[in-house]
């Protein structure tokens, strides 16, 4: 009887002992990382196959990474002891985490990764698991383990392994077809599914020498269109991905499929998915129209007014032709800009609105042209083209239309430093779109800017309401000349970024001295004195405006913000420290940027908000070419400046602000970014 009882007790003990379960490490934790725990289990009961389950549990808010982490992070890895056969890892469908413009792929809460070894059964599996876990900071943790495989299997392991394999993407059955193409820093995909799409997501394996950003997805019925920004990971130009092999996972509503395909030529659809073409065209028309109200174009509008006043015999037909010629000049200039952008794209150069003002040769040419126009308005000379063309650079006494054409073209060149509302979005759409769409968008921009001129052409009576020419026109011509001279001096000031401040000042003194000397010799000392007094008065007024705030002129303008250089790393670090970030991308040639600075960023309350201890102010200067800033803007879908964005615990993905800042908008964005953690 005693022997029977002892045998029964021994059987119960054997059933209880964990050594009879599948090899199990138990839950492992590290004293250096109390935010994660891991567990490894193995089974080798199948002939020629050893199965392993790696389970990871994370505290709320923490994450680990997929086999291809994306733009940051490290995938889980095991350094095996001995010489086991290569492990085949199976990866469940990940999630995407987008923070501060950086896109990563991984898991949160908990995940189980199945692995399989092919070959003879090993006696044990030992090694070290290296796991990267991140929240506001990232921790790299090692977990040594040792699994004894000389134990029988249990039903729970089989159930858990089957459940984990059920989370792994299938090889086929979800999508009907998938194509990939590449075009100038952008990966394009077209995916078809007869059953339609509900909540599609895509995850990409790493490509050599290329970093893939967060995909922008647009689906309509069974058609899925995806565009993915591509860079080299260092802010430089993206490599050409055509001919390379792409491995990805497509998921939708609980189903997922893994696919491998070769990247081909551009697919020909508009890459700005989720943004209909007709809306972009309307924005282009509105943005072009608003350019007429920007300070960049005011001198040219004054020239146009002057050209009308100088015509003594005005009639509807001549006024209509003049404004139609100016409209043609505007549209032709936008077509020339489209050609320039096309050549830059084909040459894999950076694209952006107003980037020609980063070129000192272009600035020098514009200084020369505006200086000549100014001298012409002062009456020093009338510059004519060759007799074979029989036209004049500036219309004098109402003859010829070429002057009006060049006025429109000139207005376009001076307008490009401005990024008016709607214009930035439309230009970003155009610069990323296929070439036919790019040309169509620039045509819409030209038509939009031409609208006021076309209105005058349609109703010439509006222009005929101006007073008849008289002696008062000398004063008007002087004012117009001073406006154009101010534009020339402003353009000359941009050369300081390239040749230095002292040479620029010397060039400015030579320009003014030569102009005043020419006026004195040709028009007399009275006119020269009047021009000199006007220049001094304008300079004094500008200094006065620049010395006082816009809130009543009670305090001098001081920028006491500790601006730091702009970088993705700086944004990520600030967010990791639970701080807010204010991003300002500006340039010396950007007039709207200067308006934002004087009217908003220099205000006392805004300065105080940006000097807060939890605010990091980052500034990027695009006055000269910068691949890093070009990549920064491109990643955020912007092609022009000013560009302002606010990050923080309450705005981890960043809130992009309007090109024309307001005090209330800046303060509200900073308040929203604070979130609830502060």
DSSP per-residue letters across 362-423: HHHHHHHHHHHHHHHHTTS---B--TTTT-BSS--TT--SHHHHHHHHHHHHHHTT---TTH
Task: Give the residue from 287, 283, 281, 325 showing the smallest Cα distance to 304.
Answer: 325
Task: Give the residue from 615, 610, 617 showing the smallest Cα distance to 650.
Answer: 615
The mean pLDDT of the chain is 76
Q: d(Cα 218, Cα 208) in Å, to the nearest integer? A: 27
Is there a contact between 443 and 435 (Cβ–Cβ < 8 Å)? Answer: no
Q: What is the pLDDT of residue 346?
A: 67
How much of the chain, in percent, has pLDDT values that exceed 90?
18
- Answer yes or no: is pLDDT of 612 > 80: yes
Structure tokens at 274: 């989720």
Task: Give the residue from 452, 169, 166 showing the smallest Cα distance to 305.
Answer: 452
Q: d(Cα 569, Cα 561) in Å, to the nearest integer? A: 20
CATH code, 564-674: 3.40.30.10
pLDDT, greater one: 46 or 169 = 169
Task: Give the residue from 216, 196, 321, 356 showing the smallest Cα distance to 272.
Answer: 216
Residue 7: pLDDT band by 50, 70, 90 thresholds? very low
Helix (H) or strand (E) holding 55: strand 49-58
What would the pLDDT profile of 102-150 be if each residue is shown by its tens digit?
Answer: 778 999 999 999 999 888 878 888 999 999 998 878 889 999 999 888 8
Asked if the bond preceding 233 is cis, omega within 30° of 0, the reply is no
Count Cβ neighbours within 10 Å for each residue of 57-95 and write b for 16 or more, e otherwise: bbeeebbbbbbbbbbbbebbebeeeeebeeeebbbbbbb
Is there a contact between 677 and 578 (Cβ–Cβ < 8 Å)? Answer: yes
- Answer yes or no: is pLDDT of 234 > 70: no
Matching CATH number, 177-262, of 3.90.180.10, 2.60.40.10, 3.40.50.300, 3.30.200.20:
2.60.40.10
Q: What is the pLDDT of residue 16?
A: 39
Q: What is the pLDDT of residue 396?
A: 42
Q: d(Cα 288, Cα 293) in Å, to the nearest integer? A: 10
Parallel, antiparallel or unpaired: strands 615-621 and 580-586: parallel
Residue 297: pLDDT band by 50, 70, 90 thresholds? low
Q: What is the pLDDT of residue 330?
A: 83
User: How far, in Å, are 104, 556, 580 from residue 647 at the CA level?
Assistant: 18, 29, 5
Residue 387: pLDDT band by 50, 70, 90 thresholds? very low
Is there a contact between 297 and 291 (Cβ–Cβ < 8 Å)? Answer: yes
Burial class (CB in 10 A: 0-12, 13-18, 19+), 208: exposed
- Answer yes or no: is pLDDT of 493 > 80: no
Q: What is the pLDDT of residue 385?
A: 38
Helix (H) or strand (E) holding 531: helix 525-547
User: Please, what is the end-to-end C-alpha distance for the chain in angstroms?
Assistant: 72
Taking each helix axis from N to C terminus, what angle separates 298-309 and 316-346, rounded to the nearest 10 degrees?
150
Average pLDDT estimate for 560-578: 87
Q: What is the pLDDT of residue 397?
A: 40
The separation between CA 288 and the C-alpha centre of its own chain, rounded to angstroms, equals 21
- Answer yes or no: is pLDDT of 95 > 70: yes
Task: Give the residue from 360, 322, 356 showing the smallest Cα distance to 340.
Answer: 356
> Using CA of residue 505, residue 510, residue 515, residue 516, what is the dihedral sign?
positive
Q: Is there a shared CATH topology between the 21-165 domain and the 564-674 domain?
A: no
| Domain limits, the chain | 21-165, 177-262, 277-470, 564-674
Average pLDDT estimate for 456-483: 63
For 401, phi then psi, to 5°, come to -115, -5
- Answer yes or no: is pLDDT of 465 > 70: no
pLDDT, greater one: 527 or 663 = 663
Q: d(Cα 378, Cα 233) in Å, to the nearest integer? A: 54
Q: d(Cα 253, Cα 66) in Å, to the nearest integer? A: 19
Count Cβ neighbours within 10 Å for each residue of 466-495 and write b for 16 or more, e otherwise: eeeeeeebeebbbebbbbbbbbbbbbbbbb
Residue 9: pLDDT band by 50, 70, 90 thresholds? very low
Q: What is the pLDDT of residue 400?
A: 57
- Answer yes or no: is pLDDT of 421 > 70: no
Q: d(Cα 678, Cα 665) in Å, to the nearest integer? A: 20
Q: d(Cα 98, Cα 106) in Å, to the nearest integer? A: 11
What would the pLDDT profile of 313-357 be if each residue is shown by its tens digit?
Answer: 456 677 778 778 888 888 888 888 778 777 766 665 555 556 666
Q: Give 211's strand partners.
A: 231
What would the pLDDT profile of 40-51 be if each residue is shown by its tens digit?
Answer: 999 887 778 889
Q: d(Cα 459, Cα 449) in Å, to the nearest integer? A: 17
Q: What is the pLDDT of residue 540?
A: 64
For domain 21-165, the question of CATH label 2.60.40.1230 is answered with: yes
Q: What is the pLDDT of residue 348?
A: 52
Residue 156: pLDDT band by 50, 70, 90 thresholds? confident
Residue 28: pLDDT band by 50, 70, 90 thresholds? very high
SS3 label, residue 306: helix
Average pLDDT estimate for 172-178: 89
- Answer yes or no: is pLDDT of 582 > 70: yes
For 36, phi then psi, to 5°, come to -145, 150
What would the pLDDT profile of 203-230 be if each residue is shown by its tens digit?
Answer: 999 888 888 888 888 877 788 888 888 8
Task: Give the residue from 491, 520, 525 showing the smallest Cα distance to 508.
Answer: 491
What would the pLDDT profile of 532-551 be if each residue is shown by its tens digit?
Answer: 777 776 666 655 555 544 44
The separation between CA 294 and the C-alpha centre of its own chain, rounded to angstroms, equals 23
What would the pLDDT profile of 45-88 be if each residue is shown by its tens digit?
Answer: 777 888 999 999 999 989 999 999 887 788 999 999 888 888 89
Is there a contact between 443 and 280 (Cβ–Cβ < 8 Å)? Answer: no
Residue 383: pLDDT band by 50, 70, 90 thresholds? very low
- Answer yes or no: is pLDDT of 38 > 90: yes
Task: Give the residue from 226, 220, 275 showing the smallest Cα distance to 248.
Answer: 226
């Amino acid at each position: 009887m005693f022997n029977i009882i002892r045998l029964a007790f021994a059987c119960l003990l054997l059933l209880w002992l964990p050594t009879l379960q599948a090899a199990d490490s138990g839950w492992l934790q590290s004293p250096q990382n109390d935010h994660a725990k891991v567990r490894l289990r193995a089974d080798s009961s199948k002939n020629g196959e050893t199965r392993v389950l790696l389970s990871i549990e994370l505290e709320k808010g923490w994450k680990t990474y997929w086999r291809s982490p994306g733009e940051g992070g490290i995938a889980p890895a095991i350094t095996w002891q001995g010489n086991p056969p290569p492990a085949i890892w199976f990866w469940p469908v990940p999630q995407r985490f987008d923070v501060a413009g950086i896109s990563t792929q991984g898991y949160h809460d908990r995940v189980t990764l199945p692995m399989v070894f092919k070959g003879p059964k090993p006696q044990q599996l030992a090694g070290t698991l290296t796991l990267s876990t991140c929240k506001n900071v990232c921790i790299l943790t090692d977990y040594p383990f040792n699994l004894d495989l000389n134990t029988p299997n249990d039903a729970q392991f089989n159930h858990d392994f089957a459940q984990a394999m059920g989370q792994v993407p299938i090889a086929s059955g979800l999508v009907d077809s998938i194509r990939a193409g590449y075009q100038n820093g952008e990966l394009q995909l077209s995916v078809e599914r007869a059953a339609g799409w509900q909540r599609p997501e895509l995850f990409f394996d790493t490509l050599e020498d290329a970093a893939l950003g967060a995909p922008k997805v647009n689906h309509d019925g069974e058609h899925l269109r995806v565009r993915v920004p591509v860079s080299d990971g260092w802010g430089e130009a993206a490599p050409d991905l055509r001919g390379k092999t792409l491995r990805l996972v497509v998921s939708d509503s609980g189903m997922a499929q893994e696919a491998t395909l070769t990247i081909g030529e551009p697919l020909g659809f508009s890459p700005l998915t989720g943004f209909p073409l007709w809306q972009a065209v309307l924005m282009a028309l509105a943005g072009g129209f608003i350019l007429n109200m920007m300070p960049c174009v005011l001198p040219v509008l004054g020239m146009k007014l002057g050209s009308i006043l100088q015509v003594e015999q005005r009639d509807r037909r001549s006024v209509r032709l003049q404004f139609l010629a100016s409209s043609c000049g505007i549209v032709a200039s936008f077509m020339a800009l489209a050609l320039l952008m096309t050549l830059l794209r084909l040459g894999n150069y950076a694209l952006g609105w107003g980037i020609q003002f980063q070129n000192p040769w272009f600035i020098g040419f514009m200084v020369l042209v505006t200086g000549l126009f100014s001298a012409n308005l002062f009456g020093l000379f009338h510059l004519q083209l060759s007799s074979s063309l029989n036209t004049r650079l500036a219309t004098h006494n109402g003859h010829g239309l070429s002057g009006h054409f060049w006025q429109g073209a000139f207005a376009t060149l001076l307008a490009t430093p401005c990024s008016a509302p709607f214009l930035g979005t439309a230009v970003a759409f155009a610069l990323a779109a296929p070439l036919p769409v790019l040309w169509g968008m620039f045509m819409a921009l030209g038509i939009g800017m031409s609208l006021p001129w076309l209105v005058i052409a349609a109703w010439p009576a509006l222009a005929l309401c101006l007073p008849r020419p008289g002696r008062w026109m000398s004063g008007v011509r002087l004012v117009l000349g001073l406006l154009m001279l101010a534009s020339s001096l402003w353009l000359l000031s941009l050369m300081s970024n390239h040749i230095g401040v002292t040479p620029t000042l010397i060039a400015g003194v030579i320009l003014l001295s030569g102009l005043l000397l020419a006026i004195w010799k040709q028009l007399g000392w009275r006119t020269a004195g009047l021009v000199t007094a006007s220049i001094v008065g304008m300079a004094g007024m500008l200094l006065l405006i620049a010395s006082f705030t816009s809130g009543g002129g009670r305090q001098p303008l001081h920028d006491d913000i500790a601006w730091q250089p702009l970088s993705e790393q700086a944004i990520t670090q600030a967010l990791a420290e639970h701080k807010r970030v204010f991003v300002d991308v500006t340039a010396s040639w950007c007039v709207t940027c200067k308006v934002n600075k004087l009217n908003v960023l220099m205000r006392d309350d805004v300065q105080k908000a940006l000097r807060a201890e939890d605010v990091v102010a980052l500034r990027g200067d695009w006055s000269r070419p910068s691949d890093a800033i070009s990549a920064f803007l491109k990643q955020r879908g912007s092609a022009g400046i000013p560009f302002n964005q606010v990050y923080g615990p309450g705005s981890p993905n960043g809130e992009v602000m309007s090109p024309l800042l307001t005090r209330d908008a800046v303060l509200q964005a900073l308040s929203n970014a604070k979130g609830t953690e502060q």
